[in-house]
Structure 1
Amino acid sequence: MSLVQYSDSESEADIPSPYPPAKKPRHNPPASGLPPLPATFHDLYASSSRVSVQDDPSLHGGRKRIIPHIEGNWPTHLYLEWHPSKTELTILERLIPWNYAKNPSVLKVHSLLHSDLGAQLPLHISLSRPVVLRTEQRTEFTDALQNVILESKIAPFNAIPDTLKWVSNYERTRWFLVLHVQRPQNDNLNKLLRLCNNTLSRFKQPPLYSPTHENQASPKNFDDKFHISLAWTLTEPSPDDNTYVDGIDLKSLEDLHVGFDAVKVKVGNNVMSIPLPSNT
């Protein structure tokens, strides 16, 4: 199991994609004839209210705060968001190995598909590690990122999941069960990561998947890193855990195409959505 620089890219000239043209990103159909919720609705409720500014792991399943709370510092994360449909959610639920009866290892696995109260949660592909902006940098940063994305001509696209595996965060304090995704048409994930990394560097923030640590031979290609997290655990998975996951049937993923049409910027508890440019 390789260490993945996880939040939870440098770019290169366009590379011909080995995959068929992406389907138009799909939006979940309305349920019971009701109109769909606007995309901004999810941004309004992206975070629960803050319970404590101290590092109290008992408040969130034993997780420890990676970025300490300091007045004037704003934890920031860039990502692509996915709200699975009911059918897609059923497929994903079957991939999480709750039952380890046939496995000698016992992991306490926490789902990222639902909250503790049972509400469905959005999933994401990270375009940054957790970073920190100062109060006076927030507007300048979001304006800069919005400008480069709008000028990028990176249109909405689909990503296709293909592999299930365990990966760790930077600090090796949590391990995530993730779906790796294939390179999308026009290499849009690497292109977006490059834009995000370049913008973060202007504000003295570290990149995600830095080529100084990994991918030395191909520093502009991080196809092996992009993934969607489904669950997490505080215990490092054993070789048996990895073997168990390797044996899970992934045929249900064959028709799963995940559409992305915007980059999300979360600064503190505020979420901004930057639409990808349209070809039309």
Structure 2
Amino acid sequence: MAGLHLIKTYSSDSDEDKHDDDEKHDDSKIVNKQTRLALPASILSLKGVTHEEVIDNPSDHDGRIRSFKHERGNWATLVYIDYTTSDCLHTWMKSMLNELPVQGEIISNLHISLSRTLVLKFHWIESFVESLKLLCSGFHPFVVQLTDVKMYCNEEKTRTFLGIYCQNEDGTLKHLTDAIDCLLAEYQLPSFYEDISYHISFFWCLGDKQTYLKKILPSLTCSLNKYLAENVEDTYIHVKEIQCKIGNKCYSFGLK
């Protein structure tokens, strides 16, 4: 952002104190040695922007540990498909808590990730958003089908998830992800996982609990398939737009 170069402190040098013998010294012309330019309103008004150091405290968010610390000028970024569950499917998800051998929470904001959680530089945001908007406009809406229950663990092994696997028959979802990866490469950001498993995470717990959850996956999948057979309208997701969250600011990009 061009305005960032304004965030500087200007100091006058010792030459201020010199004046010609023929001129009278004028106190009103002395420049304040610590004049600080105000931060542009366009930056201050941007939602999700903070200019103070943030110290992470896991106790503030249920014991979760961030993959990377807050740093000024770096913004956590995710490209995804937003998903709003039906009341009936949400009830099914909550009912699964009674079947699990571990303690955890149902996830309230559901989505299908199309990127890793990325670190985007502040001055990249505007061009990245415009490029992603253009990219999405080149894809037609598509359909995703919910199938099995699968288990996932983050790279740091600090959290384990249960998710509903998502399948796309016409290949649009994979082509879209490949295009996003190409865009990320322009910013030297990591691509999505090689062994992609598109899914909607609906449950999480602290630590690596894969051993405990693996044994109940077949029964969870059986329960999900029974539910979907009785509620066919919940089996398919009609994707018409893509979302991107940068800091606390969310963007939506319609498909053509």
TM-score normalised by the shorter chain: which range applies?
Answer: 0.7 to 0.9
Is structure 2 residue 139 aligned with structure 1 residue 160? Answer: no
Is structure 2 residue 131 aligned with structure 1 residue 144? Answer: yes
- 1:140-189 Cα offsets, whole Å, 9 max, x none, are 01111111221x2x22222111111211112221111111112x242121
| Other-structure match for 1:82 | 83
RMSD: 2.1
Q: Quick one: distance in 1 between partners of 2:79 and 2:148? A: 23
Identity %: 28
Given that residues 97 and 245 in structure 1 are in contact (C-alpha distance below 8 angstroms), is that contact kept between their aligned partners in structure 2?
A: no
Is structure 2 residue 176 aligned with structure 1 residue 181? Answer: no
1:242 pairs, out of 214, 232, 240, with 214
Matched residue pairs, number? 200
Deviation at 1:270, TM superposition (A): 0.3
Deviation at 1:88, TM superposition (A): 2.9
User: Secondary structure at 1:75's aligned position in 2?
Assistant: strand
- 1:26-66 Cα offsets, whole Å, 9 max, x none, are xxxxxxxxxxxxxxxxxxxxx9x9xx921200001110111
Given that residues 157 and 185 in structure 1 are in contact (C-alpha distance below 8 angstroms), is that contact kept between their aligned partners in structure 2?
A: no
| Other-structure match for 1:98 | 98
| Other-structure match for 2:200 | 228
Q: Where does 1:57-76 land on structure 2 (aligned, <5 Å)?
A: 57-76=58-77
Give TM-score, length-normalised by structure 1. Answer: 0.66
Closer/same/farther in 2, CA of residues 240 and 171 from structure 1, 3 Å limit:
closer
For structure 1, the residue ranges without an aligned partner over 5 or more in a row are 1-46, 101-105, 114-121, 215-221
Deviation at 1:240, TM superposition (A): 4.4
Pick the structure with greater CA Rg: 2
The structure whose residues are more often strand, as a share, is 2
| Other-structure match for 1:111 | 106
Q: Quick one: distance in 2 between partners of 1:276 and 1:203? A: 23
1:131 pairs, out of 118, 124, 129, with 118
For structure 2, the residue ranges without an aligned partner over 5 or more in a row are 1-47
| Other-structure match for 1:15 | none
Deviation at 1:77, TM superposition (A): 0.5
Higher RCO (C-alpha under 8 Å, 6+ residues apart): 1
| Other-structure match for 2:23 | none
1:191 pairs, out of 160, 175, 180, with 175
Closer/same/farther in 2, CA of residues 163 and 172 from structure 1, 3 Å limit:
same
User: Secondary structure at 2:148's aligned position in 1?
Assistant: strand
- 1:208-261 Cα offsets, whole Å, 9 max, x none, are 113xxx5xxxxxxx4xx1100001011322544211232122211232212221
Given that residues 98 and 109 in structure 1 are in contact (C-alpha distance below 8 angstroms), is that contact kept between their aligned partners in structure 2?
A: no
Give TM-score, length-normalised by structure 2. Answer: 0.72
| Other-structure match for 2:154 | 169
Q: Quick one: distance in 2 between partners of 1:257 and 1:93? A: 20
User: Secondary structure at 1:192's aligned position in 2?
Assistant: helix
Q: Quick one: distance in 1 between partners of 2:238 and 2:179? A: 19
Closer/same/farther in 2, CA of residues 238 and 226 from structure 1, 3 Å limit:
closer
Q: Quick one: distance in 1 between partners of 2:107 and 2:165? A: 16
Q: Quick one: distance in 1 between partners of 2:97 and 2:144? A: 23
Q: Comparing 240-249 with 173-182, which one deviates more in the overlay?
A: 240-249
Q: Quick one: distance in 1 between partners of 2:241 and 2:210? A: 36
Given that residues 82 and 260 in structure 1 are in contact (C-alpha distance below 8 angstroms), is that contact kept between their aligned partners in structure 2?
A: no
Deviation at 1:205, TM superposition (A): 0.3
Deviation at 1:108, TM superposition (A): 1.5
